[in-house]
């Protein structure tokens, strides 16, 4: 399912207001639930408590306990219920407190959610979103600080989203909810209290489209999620030395916007890939492989000429 942003008159800019990242996610959920009665949300402590990070705060009052459902502490049950609901025509959004706990539900994610559409020749749809958060930086210890995007990116049938800004979080979550495929939506725990201008009302961003957060000509920094913040800071520091770094935010890892990555590399001829996960078998290696296979030879020839 391809989702395109709302059409506006030429030159017209959407009205915006400043929001926290967590608020922007909640705004997307609220608007999608109003638009489509088949959208429901469930997870641990998401009702009265509003979720571990406050994303679902206030939704229970508007939509009631049938559409905002607290669940037992059972990740396999939460995700299994979502798969079943999606297969029968609903559009569930489930929240797992930490991506570290996703291992408890990997059978449902890998062998059910990701595979059913293939197994039934496209006749079955699994339009579900699994929201969870990862990353380090809060001293949350070993079971609450992992970056596991490479796990999910390896599985055929899953889409994978990792937004860095409040506006991107809102637009991509709305599009993920409308998508007919299972989407893993990973949020960094230290982004929830970051602020930014967010379009008011319906805001959709297509999955699979990277965003150049800063233009440059000397170096391309390819990154995603919270590392975008650090990349932009680094680019500011480099600018003081006369080096223009381009910061490319992937936003979605699956599908991957290869064309934008390669176009940037061919312009700057240099690349730096930045991610938070463990280096070994991390998703950054996928980006490096792409660059070497499809951009390296051309860039080398242009530099030599």
Could you check whether 16-199 and 211-304 share the same CATH topology?
Answer: yes
pLDDT (tens digit per residue) in 189-204: 999 999 999 999 999 9
Collapse the DSSP code of 98 into the 3-class scheme (helix H, G, I; strand E, B; otherwise coil) and give the result: coil
Interatomic CA distance for residues 210 and 256, integer angstroms: 8
pLDDT tens-place string over residues 109-129: 999 999 998 888 888 999 999
Report the mean per-residue pLDDT for the chain.
92
Name residues whose C-beta falls within 8 Å of residue 103's C-beta, 6 or more positions apart in sequence.
none
Cβ proximity of 303 and 267 under 8 Å:
no
pLDDT (tens digit per residue) in 237-275:
999 999 999 999 999 999 999 999 999 999 999 999 999
Strand partners, 130: 94, 184
**Cα separation of 89 and 143, whole Å?**
34
Structure token digits, residue 153: 């990116």
Hey, what are 136's tokens? Answer: 């380090």
**What pTM was computed for the model?**
0.92
Tokens representing residue 76 in the block: 């396999």
User: Measuring CA to CA, which residue among 95, 103, 192, 194 is closest to residue 146?
Assistant: 103
- Catalytic residue IDs: 75, 144
Query: In the structure encoding, which two tokens stand for residue 44, read together?
Result: 């641990």
In this structure, whether the domain defined by 16-199 belongs to CATH 3.40.50.10540 is answered with no
For the chain, what are the domain ranges?
Answer: 16-199, 211-304
CATH 2.40.10.10 fits 211-304, yes or no: no
Express each pLDDT in 74-107 by its tens digit: 999 999 999 999 999 999 999 999 999 999 999 9
């Amino acid at each position: 399912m391809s989702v395109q942003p709302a059409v506006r008159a030429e030159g017209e800019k959407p009205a915006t207001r400043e929001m926290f990242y967590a608020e922007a996610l909640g705004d997307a959920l609220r608007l999608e639930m109003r638009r489509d009665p088949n959208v429901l949300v469930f997870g641990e402590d998401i009702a009265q408590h509003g979720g571990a990070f406050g994303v679902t705060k206030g939704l229970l009052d508007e939509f009631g306990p049938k559409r905002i459902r607290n669940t037992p502490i059972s990740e396999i049950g939460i995700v299994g219920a979502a798969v079943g609901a999606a297969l029968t025509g609903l559009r569930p959004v489930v929240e797992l407190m930490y991506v570290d706990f996703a291992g408890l539900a990997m059978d449902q994610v890998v062998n059910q959610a990701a595979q059913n559409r293939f197994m039934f020749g496209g006749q079955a749809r699994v339009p579900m979103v699994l929201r969870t958060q990862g990353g380090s930086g809060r001293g949350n210890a070993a079971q609450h600080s992992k970056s596991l995007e490479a796990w999910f990116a390896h599985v055929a049938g899953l889409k994978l989203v990792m937004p860095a800004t409040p506006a991107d979080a809102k637009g991509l979550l709305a599009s993920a909810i409308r998508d007919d495929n299972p989407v893993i939506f990973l949020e960094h725990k230290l982004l929830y209290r970051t602020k930014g201008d967010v379009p008011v009302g319906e805001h959709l961003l297509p999955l699979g489209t990277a965003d150049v957060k800063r233009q440059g000509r000397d170096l391309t920094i390819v990154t995603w999620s919270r590392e975008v913040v650090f990349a932009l800071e680094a680019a500011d520091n480099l600018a003081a030395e006369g080096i223009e770094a381009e910061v490319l935010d992937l936003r979605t890892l699956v599908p991957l916007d290869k064309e934008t990555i390669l176009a940037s590399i061919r312009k700057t001829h240099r690349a730096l890939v930045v991610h938070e996960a463990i280096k070994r078998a991390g998703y950054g290696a996928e980006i490096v492989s792409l660059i070497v296979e499809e951009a390296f030879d051309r860039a080398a020839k242009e530099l030599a000429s």
